[in-house]
Amino acid sequence: MPVLPAAADIRARTHDPLALTPRQRAQLRGELCARCGSQNVTQAAGYAYVQSGPGRLGRPVRVCANCPSNVGG
């Protein structure tokens, strides 16, 4: 399975909480891989960010065995 580009990664940018897709919400809950959306999440992968007032909230996310745990990998 090819690794998706970094732009597809939930961690690649800060998200508008009102514009999240169901897939993105599951990724932010750590239920799906932060990059490819696989259900076989195996490792912690830092944080994804959602806008919150003037700042942003970090949500711990996870990735599957096929995806790099660092956002730029």
Considering only residues 33, 45, 48, 71, which one is a binding residue for Zn ion as defined by CB under 5 A?
A: 33
Q: What are the distances in angstroms from CA 58 to CA 2, 4, 48, 62, 65?
A: 27, 22, 6, 13, 22
Considering only residues 14, 38, 42, 69, which one is a binding residue for Zn ion as defined by CB under 5 A?
A: 38
Query: For Zn ion, which is the closer residue by CB, 33 or 48?
Result: 33
Q: Which stretch binds Zn ion (CB under 5 A): 6-14, 20-28, 36-44, 49-57?
A: 36-44
- Please, what is the end-to-end C-alpha distance for the chain in angstroms? 16
**Residue 5 neighbours by CB under 8 Å, 6+ apart:** none
Residues that bind Zn ion (CB under 5 A): 33, 35-36, 38, 64, 67
